[in-house]
């Protein structure tokens, strides 16, 4: 028999780290979700040269490999929510219903085809690949799962609002548009609160568990390939992680993530995945973000938002 927690080679390398059934430490109650949330999505912070949305990991000089992994997965989600919320906030100042309709159509296409896909994929591969090989409390795992169930329900609610905004053969006046956009924004802000809460919970629980189970080399050798294979829509997920890593971690961080890709995947990234991402995912977020910046009265504000890394390019 192997020693508890060690690497054991079978037909394919697999890390074996049983979860202790006696671990029943209560999960944090900090992340309880109130019935209604209608507060603006907070902007990123600029800490030590890093533009970052996470409120858990803020000091760059203390970032370990496990922290950088979690930031790579989570920061695209937080950034996307920020851009969406700001777009909806500024929509109230838009006079042209045609412009609102065009951008709202683009938002729903992006949300349905790419954001939901990214969100579900990152959750699924963490549950299927990462959770079984690290040690986290039963109650924390249960809280994470419950949180995502609520998140998926809120996303369904958001999708149901598309019909009321974009139903064919019916024109809405501006007041009706703004009323329904306000309802959409409230749902987006609930989603934001729920996602920030569960991502914070995951960062506070997964980081120490990953650090205790592996060193960086072991993780990259035995776990990261399995996580990579679990990504279904690589042309969406992989570039989103790599491109955003430049914003929160700099060019060296981005180069590091590219270097972790298998040789064949680097070719796919350059020739297929990144071009697809830039033409379909990034351009939609860029359009929503540039609409928000165009509505700003102060040109200095626009430059400052670009500095904060809220544009996609």
Q: What is the pLDDT of residues 140-160, one digit of tens each?
A: 999 999 999 999 999 999 999
Mean pLDDT over 161-183 rounds to: 79
Q: What is the pLDDT of residues 219-230, one digit of tens each?
A: 999 999 999 999
Query: From CA 199, how far away is CA 187, in angstroms rounded?
Result: 18
Q: What is the pLDDT of residues 102-118, one digit of tens each?
A: 888 889 999 999 999 99
* Whether the predicted pLDDT of 263 surpasses 70: yes
Query: From CA 303, how far away is CA 18, in angstroms rounded?
Result: 50
Query: From CA 143, how far away is CA 125, in angstroms rounded?
Result: 17
Decide if 30 contacts 202 (C-beta within 8 A): no
Q: What is the pLDDT of residues 270-285, one digit of tens each?
A: 999 999 999 999 998 8
């Amino acid at each position: 028999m192997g020693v508890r927690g060690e690497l054991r080679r079978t037909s394919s390398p697999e890390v074996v780290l049983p979860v202790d059934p006696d671990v029943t430490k209560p999960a944090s109650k900090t992340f309880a979700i109130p019935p209604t949330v209608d507060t603006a999505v907070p902007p990123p912070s600029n800490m030590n040269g890093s533009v970052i949305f996470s409120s858990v990991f803020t000091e760059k000089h203390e970032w370990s490999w496990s922290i950088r992994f979690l930031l790579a997965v989570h920061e695209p989600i937080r950034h996307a929510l920020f851009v969406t919320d700001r777009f909806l906030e500024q929509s109230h100042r838009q006079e042209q219903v045609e412009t609102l309709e065009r951008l709202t159509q683009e938002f729903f296409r992006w949300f349905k085809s790419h954001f939901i896909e990214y969100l579900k994929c990152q959750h699924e591969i963490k549950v299927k690949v990462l959770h079984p090989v690290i040690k986290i409390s039963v109650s924390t795992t249960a809280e994470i799962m419950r949180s995502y169930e609520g998140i998926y329900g809120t996303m369904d609610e958001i999708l149901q609002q598309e019909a009321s905004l974009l139903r064919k053969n019916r024109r809405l006046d501006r007041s009706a548009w703004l009323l329904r956009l306000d309802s959409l924004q409230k749902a987006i802000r609930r989603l934001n609160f729920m996602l920030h809460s569960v991502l914070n919970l995951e960062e506070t629980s997964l980081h120490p568990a990953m650090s205790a189970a592996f060193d960086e080399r072991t993780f990259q050798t035995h776990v990261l390939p399995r996580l990579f294979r679990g990504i279904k829509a690589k042309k969406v997920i992989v570039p989103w992680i790599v491109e955003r890593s430049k914003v929160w971690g700099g060019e060296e961080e981005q180069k590091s993530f590219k270097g972790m890709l298998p040789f064949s995947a680097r070719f796919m990234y350059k020739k297929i995945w990144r071009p697809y991402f830039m033409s379909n995912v990034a351009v939609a977020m860029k359009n929503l973000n540039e609409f928000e910046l165009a509505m700003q009265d102060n040109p200095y504000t626009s430059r400052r938002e670009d500095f904060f890394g809220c544009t996609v390019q």
